[in-house]
């Protein structure tokens, strides 16, 4: 109505020029003119409908605004991309430039009702590849954020039982950048993991198996187990959701780290009782199978080294890389299996008639093929014939090519993920330091204001 009023007021000043064969399109402040006949050739597009509709209300629903005086349809869209839309109506071909953002371009052509099939096949293939790369990048970014996001944020403790106390414990255990004591606990956790691994290693040394050394190893193991148990219980108490706590992979690692100690104590007591029982019956000592199980339980302590991943950016980046590249890793194992079966069968076929050969069957040749593919070459099993050596050369060559394929892919992705994880940690550390400085300044200002308010000399 304002446009109509302005038109009536300026009727004597500005003559109205209308062309019933052209559409005046204003996109983001830039004016375009398209022939109605040209736009009508694509009736399913927005401008095609605008050219074919005769009802003014339907036309107004297609645009953002309309100037009666200028007979101009206004669209609040990106004018730089509309140049390609305008070119499409003139030529019938949708051109796609490399510098365009795929998401923004798809959003714009969907708004104008133009399908990507109108573009050239070469441009469409490159554009779809770029779209896939962008989607994969956004997916990885989202998973990285989920990897870095803590299980329990500070907001989850509000309104919970002992929420403030549990939040304090959670920051102390889970967030090493929150305070100096939290950093000390993180360092102590890594230190006890290393001490536990060293103790487990030294316990297998013959000189440490005497009574004094064994006692020291047991005491060290008990101290480490007490620390790990306390750490696990503190995490369990401070968790805002018991279900999410059990689902977390790091918490499962913590549980596996402490269970062997208590299972070992239980089995040792059972083993002692079983031994006494058999001694009373004058049977063979230690006939129980608990000893073998106990060795297996002790071996589970090696998984404690995975606890280092909680405070190690490199280990977390490595695990994330393996999860993201599991398809490439599975293909690598598939190629290795194919090479082992192929070259072991070839080696058996050319060496099985040689007297004293170790290649008496294909399964016996599997170990040789696996060692040769890995280019280790122990030399414990070697071919004797010329054809056997040719097969061995082919196996080694295939192993060199196979080992070189995934290195660049895995290393590049690992470097990328490590840099992103490290940058996020530095950003979190910087933000926490900044917040602590701000809180310190606020406390200083508050103390000074309280002191000045209490001292009457400050008012004079």
Does residue 245 share a domain with residue 169?
yes
- Of 394, 345, 349, nearest to 366 by C-alpha is 345
> Do 53 and 43 touch, CB atoms closer than 8 A?
no
CA atoms in the 13 A half-sphere facing the CB of 196: 29
CATH number of 85's domain: 3.30.710.10
For 427-457, give the DSSP string.
HHHHHHHHHHHHHHHHHHHHHHHHHHHH-GG
Rounded distance, CA 303 to CA 39, Å? 68
Q: Is residue 8 part of a domain?
A: no
- Of 14, 25, 69, nearest to 47 by C-alpha is 25
Tell me how far the alpha carbon of residue 255 is from its chain's centroid: 23
Q: Is residue 456 part of a domain?
A: no
Q: Is residue 220 part of a domain?
A: yes
In sequence order, what are the residues at sequence separation of 6 or more whose Cβ sits closer than 8 angstroms to the Cβ of residue 425?
148, 177, 313
pLDDT tens-digit map of 256-271: 888 888 887 877 676 5
> CA geometry: angle at 320 spanning 314 and 322, to 5°?
105
Does residue 353 share a domain with residue 218?
no
Calculate helix-pair angle for 180-202, 211-238, nearest 10 degrees.
Answer: 140
> Do 305 and 315 touch, CB atoms closer than 8 A?
no
What's the pLDDT score for residue 139?
82
What's the pLDDT score for residue 11?
43
Q: Is residue 431 part of a domain?
A: yes
> Do 47 and 112 touch, CB atoms closer than 8 A?
yes
What's the pLDDT score for residue 124?
83
What's the pLDDT score for residue 357?
85
Does residue 306 share a domain with residue 220?
yes
The DSSP letter of residue 45 is S
What's the pLDDT score for residue 126?
84
Residue 23 has phi, psi (to 5 degrees) of: -105, 120
**N residues, the chain:** 460
Q: Is residue 280 part of a domain?
A: yes
Q: Is residue 205 part of a domain?
A: yes
Does residue 333 share a domain with residue 203?
no
In sequence order, what are the residues at sequence separation of 6 or more whose Cβ sits closer than 8 angstroms to the Cβ of residue 440?
none
CATH number of 298's domain: 1.20.120.350
Does residue 321 share a domain with residue 280?
no
Residue 35 has phi, psi (to 5 degrees) of: -65, 135
Does residue 383 share a domain with residue 267?
no
pLDDT tens-digit map of 114-166: 988 888 888 888 888 888 888 888 888 777 777 666 544 555 666 677 777 87
> Do 20 and 33 touch, CB atoms closer than 8 A?
no
pLDDT tens-digit map of 406-426: 777 788 888 888 888 777 777
Does residue 286 share a domain with residue 170?
yes
Structure tokens belonging to residue 158 = 């509000």
What's the pLDDT score for residue 339?
92
Check the CA dihedral 134-139-144-149 and report its sign: positive
What's the pLDDT score for residue 436?
62
Residues of the chain with pLDDT under 50: 1-2, 4-5, 7-16, 151-152, 276-287, 458-460
Structure tokens belonging to residue 350 = 């050319």
Q: Is residue 13 part of a domain?
A: no
What's the pLDDT score for residue 280?
46
Q: Is residue 12 part of a domain?
A: no
Count of domains in the chain?
A: 3
Does residue 327 share a domain with residue 266?
no
Does residue 194 share a domain with residue 91?
no
In sequence order, what are the residues at sequence separation of 6 or more whose Cβ sits closer than 8 angstroms to the Cβ of residue 375?
396, 399, 400, 403
Does residue 218 share a domain with residue 277?
yes
Rounded distance, CA 406 to CA 410, Å? 6
Does residue 325 share a domain with residue 204?
no
Q: In 10 A of CB 333, how many CB atoms? A: 9
Place of tokens 């030294």: 202
Place of tokens 């013959």: 206
Q: With b meaning 16 or more CB within 10 Å and e meaning fewer, what string describes 363-395?
A: ebbbebbbbbbeeeeeeebebeeeebeebbeeb
Does residue 299 share a domain with residue 172?
yes
Domain encompassing residue 380? 316-448
Rounded distance, CA 73 to CA 70, Å? 9
CA atoms in the 13 A half-sphere facing the CB of 44: 5
> Do 101 and 123 touch, CB atoms closer than 8 A?
no
């Amino acid at each position: 109505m304002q446009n109509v009023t302005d038109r009536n007021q300026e009727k004597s000043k500005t003559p109205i020029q209308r062309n019933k064969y052209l559409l005046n399109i204003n996109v983001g402040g830039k004016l375009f003119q398209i022939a109605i006949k040209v736009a009508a050739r694509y009736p399913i597009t927005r401008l095609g409908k605008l050219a074919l509709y005769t009802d003014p209300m339907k036309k107004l629903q297609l645009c953002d605004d309309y100037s009666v005086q200028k007979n101009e349809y206004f669209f609040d869209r990106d004018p730089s991309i509309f140049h390609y839309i305008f070119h499409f109506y003139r030529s019938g071909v949708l051109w796609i430039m490399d510098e365009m953002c795929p998401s923004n371009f798809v959003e714009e052509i969907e708004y104008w009702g133009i399908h990507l099939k109108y573009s050239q096949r070469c441009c469409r293939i490159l554009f779809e590849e770029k779209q896939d790369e962008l989607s994969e990048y956004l997916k990885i970014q989202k998973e990285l954020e989920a990897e870095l996001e803590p299980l329990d944020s500070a907001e989850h403790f509000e309104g919970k039982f002992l929420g403030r106390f549990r939040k304090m414990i959670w920051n102390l255990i889970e967030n090493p950048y929150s305070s100096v004591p939290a950093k000390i606990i993180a360092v102590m956790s890594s230190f006890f993991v290393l001490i536990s691994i060293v103790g487990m290693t030294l316990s297998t040394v013959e000189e440490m198996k005497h009574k004094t050394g064994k006692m020291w190893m047991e005491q060290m193991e008990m101290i480490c187990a007490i620390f790990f148990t306390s750490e696990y219980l503190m995490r369990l108490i401070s968790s805002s959701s018991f279900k999410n706590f059990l689902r977390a992979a790091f918490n499962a690692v913590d549980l596996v780290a402490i269970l062997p100690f208590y299972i070992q104590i239980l089995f040792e007591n059972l083993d002692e009782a079983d031994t006494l029982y058999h001694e009373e019956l004058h049977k063979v000592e230690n006939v129980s199978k608990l000893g073998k199980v106990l060795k297996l339980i002790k071996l589970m302590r090696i998984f404690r080294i995975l606890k280092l991943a909680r405070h190690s950016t490199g280990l977390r980046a490595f695990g994330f890389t393996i999860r993201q590249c599991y398809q490439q890793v599975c293909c690598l194992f598939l190629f290795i299996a194919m090479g082992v079966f192929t070259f072991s069968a070839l080696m058996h076929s050319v060496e099985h008639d040689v007297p004293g050969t170790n290649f008496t069957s294909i399964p016996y040749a599997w170990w040789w093929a696996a060692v040769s593919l890995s280019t280790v070459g122990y030399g414990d099993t070697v071919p004797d014939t010329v054809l056997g050596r040719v097969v061995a050369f082919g196996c080694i060559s295939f192993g060199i090519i196979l080992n070189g394929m995934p290195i660049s892919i895995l290393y590049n992705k690992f470097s990328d993920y490590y840099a992103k994880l490290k940058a996020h940690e530095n950003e979190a550390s910087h933000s926490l330091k900044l917040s602590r400085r701000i809180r310190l300044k606020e406390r200083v200002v508050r103390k000074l204001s309280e002191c000045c308010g209490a001292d009457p000399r400050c008012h004079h």
